[in-house]
Chain A
Amino acid sequence: MTVKIYVPRDAAAIALGAEKVAKAMADEIAARGLDATIVRNGSRGMHWLEPLVEVETAEGRIAYGPVKARDVASLLDAGLVDGGAHPLCLGKTEEIPFFKRQTRLTFARCGITDPLSLEDYRAHGGLRGLEKAVSMQPAAIVAEVTESGLRGRGGAGFPTGIKWKTVLEARGKQKYIVCNADEGDSGTFADRMIMEGDPFVLIEGMAIAGIATGATKGYVYTRSEYPHAIAAMTEAIEIARAAGVLGASVLGSTHAFDMEVRTGAGAYVCGEETSLLNSLEGKRGLVRAKPPLPAHKGLFDCPTVINNVISLASVPVILDEGAAYYRDFGMGRSRGTIPIQIAGNVKHGGLFEIGFGLTLGEIVDEIAGGTASGRPVKAVQVGGPLGAYFPRALFDTPFDYEAFAAKDGLIGHAGIVVFDDTADMLKQARFAMEFCAVESCGKCTPCRIGSTRGVEVADKIRAGIEPEKNRELLADLCNTMKFGSLCALGGFTPYPVMSAMTHFPEDFEPAPAVEAAE
């Protein structure tokens, strides 16, 4: 039987040399006349081991990594096709502790299947949710999603079922499903991994959303920084359309649903839902005031569901296994699983999906294994550039929407970026303001002007100019931005700034050299 060898096509694996590995593997297989084929799978999410090569054996899949092109010959010499021993052998993939500890619902197939094989998708439980949905009443689908407790994974945490219900009840001759794949937060890559590693699950989730709300057209708005995701999504949509999963008759039903990928153009603010809608319409990505809600007047003023990739990709398993199955994972009002993205200065970076409730300390110390530099952890930014910096003193905070809010933070899109003790928190606070100034759409004053003033105030603190007065001014400015901005860009930039100042006050003191000069 032909042996399957897996070499990921995920952008992280490619950035670490997977293309060269795949080519070397293909050359060696041909040269040695081996009965083996290469499958380009998604990533398992253990990025410190990428490129992670796997081989299918009678005992299960055996992993080797991180593999470089020059290792390929020696791997085959050691009997890789039979799962042979080699210094790079990691044993069974599913027994690797980082992987074994996870609960993979949304990412159940990511890294396992060929992302562009619909047969593979079906063989691993794909399309079962959509098959159920086509025979259900729209209101019943919405009720199932509501009961699952699924909340928006883009960051706002708004209940997905309620959003869908509003669109279902809204009148309009055209309704839309818009997938927000403008994943611009540093420290996040879950959307990218799904689009590259299991694009059919997003297509299935969007088709279910369409049937549930009466929308017949969907858009995936993806950032231009993600060329691999755009290519994979585009190809998967064509395959799904050819197979009758999309089109005038979804899976042979009376429901019509079709979709396409649209590419952003490098504006961070377009991750904000109303900016994204303007951008899709071909306008400047300015934020819109709410109300009207996108559910009532969204894309081209039509009722629109706008959900994050992970929210939509979590829907198929909810329909397939039932609301209760999904809801039983998690804690408090945070139900189900969350794909935590571990990034920055960590030993074990990657994607870790688990029910809500792990503490930040468990994630950083146990799962991420501490810093890559080997130095002590100083701060962890949770939730992207608009998320708070957490000190070790708050490591007992459980991963849960409300628990993070109670500590003046947010889980956002669930990315965590770890910094070691060389981090300068005043510099990080200044960067947050600078980033806001560059990316502000300019519509509201607190964000447009406040961020520029914020950079200036941070510079004054750095220069030792009336530091106490300027720290107060910075806090006051943050307060204005938080409560006066139209959207999360200006409204949440105060999180990293205030958390840096609150938890690391020593970094906001004048530099010692200045003191000496006085």
Chain B
Amino acid sequence: MNIHLPRADVTERTLAIVGELKSLEGPLLPILHEIQDEFGYVPEESLPVIARELNLSRAEVYGVVTFYHDFREHPAGRHVLKLCRAEACQSMGGDRLAERAKALLGIDFHETTPDGAVTLESVYCLGLCSCSPSAMLDGEVHARLDEAELETLVAEARR
């Protein structure tokens, strides 16, 4: 997902996305989701375009982008592994699994492996609390994980 488009393209695509969604009530979050889907993150070059089109200040748009954990200011790795760190997963050894994931990848949470393959993130609940611990790899959910399954997931992500 490391896509670096020339500035003009970002502006153009942002304009198109905003044009498509600005008639919605409260369009900013849908627009930001769409931009992140398109580029893998919310490029800084998008912000003035969104602000102008929605008649907001650039600070207001930036304030919204930075409030929400989902929106990235930089591209993630090719794969994103999210491990649930919330209570139900803690009760089933989630902390141990998190340590193992960090060791396997050689990175901490919110970091990307040097080869750009995997970004490791924490998530607070995937709603799979009856079959903890759980994780999400590129949008696919995995539950009742043990170390062996985590290793398989990590290996899959590293490819």
Contact = CB atoms under 8 A, between A and B. Distances in A.
B130 A265 contact: no
A351 B130 CA distance: 9
A11 B91 contact: no
Contact of B68 (A285, A350, A419): A285
Contact of B131 (A50, A264, A428, A439): A50
B27 A415 contact: no
Nearest to B25: A300
A351 B131 CA distance: 12
Contacts of B128: 11-12, 15, 189
A484 to B, nearest CB: 23
B118 to A, nearest CB: 19
Given A15-B134, A225-B123, A281 B86 contact: no
Interface string B23-56: 0011111101100000000000000000000100
Contacts of B90: 428, 431
Range of interface residues on A (Cβ < 8 Å): 35 or more
A265 B54 CA distance: 19
A485 interface: no
A478 interface: no
A50 B134 CA distance: 14
A371 B85 CA distance: 20
A435 interface: yes
Contacts of B129: 186-189, 341, 343-344, 349, 415, 417
A300 B33 CA distance: 21
Contact of A186 (B32, B70, B89, B142): B89
A415 B32 CA distance: 32
A186 B29 contact: no
A48 B130 contact: yes
Contacts of A192: 127
Range of interface residues on B (Cβ < 8 Å): 35 or more
A504 interface: no
A346 B130 CA distance: 8
B139 interface: yes
B130 A15 contact: no
Q: Please indicate which of the listed interface residues B28, B71, B86, B88 has the most CB atoms of chain A within 10 Å of its own CB.
A: B88
Contacts, number: 148
A258 to B, nearest CB: 12
A284 B88 contact: no
A265 B68 contact: yes
Given A12-B143, A262-B29, A431-B87, A184 B131 contact: no
B69 A266 contact: yes
A363 B89 CA distance: 19
Q: Please indicate which of the listed interface residues B87, B90, B139 has the most CB atoms of chain A within 10 Å of its own CB.
A: B87
A372 interface: yes
Contacts of A267: 67-69
Contact of B91 (A16, A264, A423, A439): A423
A343 B69 contact: no
A381 B129 CA distance: 13
Nearest to A441: B67
B131 A47 contact: yes
A162 to B, nearest CB: 27
B110 to A, nearest CB: 12
Nearest to A350: B130
A262 B143 CA distance: 26
B141 interface: yes
Interface in B105-132: 123-132
A280 interface: yes
A343 B141 CA distance: 17
Contacts of A7: none
Interface of B: 25-30, 32-33, 54, 60, 63-64, 67-71, 86-92, 123-132, 134, 136, 139, 141-144
12 contacts: A11-B127, A225-B125, A262-B29, A267-B69, A283-B28, A283-B64, A342-B130, A343-B130, A344-B88, A344-B132, A350-B130, A417-B88
What 7 A-B pairs come out closest when comparing CB atoms?
A282-B28, A349-B130, A186-B86, A265-B68, A343-B129, A15-B143, A266-B69
Given A187-B129, A280-B26, A282-B54, 15 more contacts: A11-B127, A11-B141, A12-B143, A15-B131, A47-B131, A50-B131, A183-B127, A264-B29, A264-B68, A264-B70, A266-B68, A343-B129, A343-B130, A349-B129, A431-B90
